[in-house]
Structure 1
Amino acid sequence: MQQLILCVLLASFWTSCTGAGAPEKWDHAFKECAGKYQSPINIVTRKTLKDERLTPIKFKNYQQIFRSTIKNNGHSVQVGVPHLSTISGGGLQGIYKAVQFHLHWGNNGGPGSEHTIDGEQYPMELHIVHMKSHYTDLTTALRDPEGIAVLGFFYEKSNSANRKYEAIINTVRNVKATNSNTSLPAISLAQLIPSEQNLTSYYRYKGSLTTPGCAEAVVWTVFEKPIPLSMDQLGAFSDLQFHDGKQMMGNFRPVQPLNGRQVFRSGGAMILASSALLMAAISMALGLSHPN
């Protein structure tokens, strides 16, 4: 059990980590992967419900510089985080401390995020994993229905490189082989994510880990503002290798049924469908719509 939890929370890929095969077979090997509250999901913005409790999240020590190791575990890249950075507020029940971060991506900048927004899949997704501050181990935190809080961030293609990511991208290029690792230059969690004024728009729902055993113990916060990376930066992740030596691509779980869950949005989150209707109405008012 301890090995499985470590495997899951260090972003391990399903096939070699658990022997469970492809995602559609997980429910045969892990009962909870067939649960009703699984992740990731497709967030349909027009069906989200505004929640006034979803105020801006309080980030503490996210600016703290730390040194760590980046590792290719054969399934993803992972970076352990000192338990100094915390999140609170924003409807979270208590304080959560950062444990690690990892990523999910597609093929050389192609669709690769785990969550989708109105059916749109982004090139990559960052997960910063936290557990409730009073827990000392992940095993205990996973027994709590809200023991884990994960912040999810999308990436988008940019015409220029993101300089804040240069240190990480350069080290990613040095861990192509499975089980290889290298020291990561001093970074902070703050430099990985959008500025705080761009973090007021997000979605919230209760779900699960996205790898076996799929424990339904996660409070998910998925931010609307994507992080820009150039195609060259995005492509660096696809140069990594799985355990079998094949190109590391598509290490994401497909979206899961919502099963009646309500997805909430903060006050700043947009309803994209309504925005599109508004633009159409403006176009018609200005006489810019195409004739039938």
Structure 2
Amino acid sequence: MRCLLSAYLLPLILHSCSGADWCYQTQVSCESHCKGPDRWSEVSADCGKNRQSPINIVTKKTKLDERLTPFKFTGYQTVFDSTMKNNGHSVQVSIPITATVSGGNLGETYKAVQFHLHWGTNGGPGSEHTVDGEQYPMELHIVHMKQRYNRLEDALRDPSGIAVLGFFYEESSSSNRKYDLFTHGLRSIQNTNGNTTLRKISLNQLIPPEVNMTNYYRYDGSLTTPGCTEAVVWTVFENPIPLDREQLRAFSTLKFHDGNPMVGTFRPVQPRNGRVVYRSSGAAVAASAVLILASISAALGLSRPH
């Protein structure tokens, strides 16, 4: 059986498969002989370390960090053509232009390398990160590495060499027309190693204006597929991206290498192991506004004659 490569590591081969290939829980069976998430440490020892991703973000335990200021994006608005590929466990799109993110206490400028997604079954729960135990239908990861590195291998040796921006999706009653070309392209990559050209797309196109980019969480973690390298500064945005049911279901039409439906492509949440999850001042402001409104409502309720 050929090696399945981590979505984060393509197109560079950074780890060789040992023994059976890794797979998601939905692929585990008596016949498959692949190693599900509970056995990934047998494929790569890093998968058993203490700074693993994804995690469940418990909002009341997050810590306000005033340094988590708005990001500065460059090249996110640039339109490009790229290859969209079914790599055997996800759909991945390489980013052939120079697009960077800085600010937000990242410390350095990071350049975008690729983006990919994780999803459930026919639009059901499928995000990797969860918030207060809630699992969203899907999650987008835009993967960046420090601009000063030329090779992903070098970035992965740096404990903060990779920065991933994570976005949740939620089901909407209306379709997100900016995703039409993307979801239509899925029809051409049903089978593993299938690829097609995705034309005239930009990173901004993936993120609608209603996603408040100042509301986010931050923690130190890892890649979420083997080798699970602990080199990732995670930013998980609070506000989800809306897609309608059919758009969400379109991802479940893809197939794993064995021809079975590509569903449940997420790693279960990992222990936090004492790590602090920080929240941006934007997220804190939103939370404060809710509390203020609740206080006003309560006060009005108390002052009303009965």
Q: Normalising by structure 2, what TM-score?
A: 0.86
Residue 146 of structure 1, aligned match among 135, 147, 160: 160
Gaps of 5+ in 1: 288-292
1:206 aligns with 2:206: no
| Counterparts of residues 227-246 of structure 1 (less than 5 Å) | 227-246=241-260
1:95 to 1:196, Cα distance in 2 relative to 1, 3 A: farther
| Aligned match of 2:18 | none
- Percent identity between the two aligned chains: 60
Look up the equivalent residue of 1:74 and give its one-letter code: G
Superposition deviation, residue 286 in structure 1: 2.5
| Aligned match of 2:301 | 286
Two-structure CA RMSD over aligned residues (Å): 2.7
**2:174–2:244 CA contact under 8 A, matched in 1:** yes
Q: Distance in 1 between matches of 2:240 and 2:151?
A: 31
Superposition deviation, residue 280 in structure 1: 9.1
SS in 1 for 2:118: strand
1:38 aligns with 2:52: yes
Superposition deviation, residue 218 in structure 1: 0.2
| Aligned match of 2:89 | 75
Residue 259 of structure 1, aligned match among 273, 280, 291: 273
**2:111–2:144 CA contact under 8 A, matched in 1:** yes
Look up the equivalent residue of 1:263 and give its one-letter code: V
Superposition deviation, residue 30 in structure 1: 1.5
| Aligned match of 2:16 | none
1:130 aligns with 2:144: yes
**1:48–1:264 CA contact under 8 A, matched in 2:** yes
Residue 123 of structure 2, aligned match among 98, 103, 109: 109
1:15 aligns with 2:23: yes
Gaps of 5+ in 2: 14-20, 25-32
Q: Distance in 1 between matches of 2:134 and 2:291?
A: 15
1:52 aligns with 2:60: no
Look up the equivalent residue of 2:59 and give its one-letter code: T
**1:10–1:102 CA contact under 8 A, matched in 2:** no
SS in 2 for 1:27: helix
Q: Distance in 2 between matches of 1:236 and 1:147?
A: 33
Superposition deviation, residue 5 in structure 1: 7.1
What is the aligned length? 284
**1:20–1:29 CA contact under 8 A, matched in 2:** no
| Aligned match of 1:88 | 102
Q: Distance in 2 between matches of 1:206 and 1:153?
A: 16
| Aligned match of 1:290 | none
**1:46–1:273 CA contact under 8 A, matched in 2:** no
Look up the equivalent residue of 1:162 and give its one-letter code: N
1:129 to 1:8, Cα distance in 2 relative to 1, 3 A: closer
Q: Displaced runs of 4+ in structure 1, greater than 3 A?
A: 3-8, 10-14, 270-285
**1:146–1:219 CA contact under 8 A, matched in 2:** yes
Superposition deviation, residue 195 in structure 1: 2.8
Deviates more, 1:82-91 or 1:101-110: 82-91
1:183 to 1:50, Cα distance in 2 relative to 1, 3 A: same
1:282 to 1:202, Cα distance in 2 relative to 1, 3 A: same
Superposition deviation, residue 149 in structure 1: 0.2
1:282 to 1:136, Cα distance in 2 relative to 1, 3 A: same
Superimposed CA distance per residue, residues 8-58 of structure 1 (whole angstroms, 9 cap, x where no aligned partner): 434999329xx8610000122311111110000000011111111100011
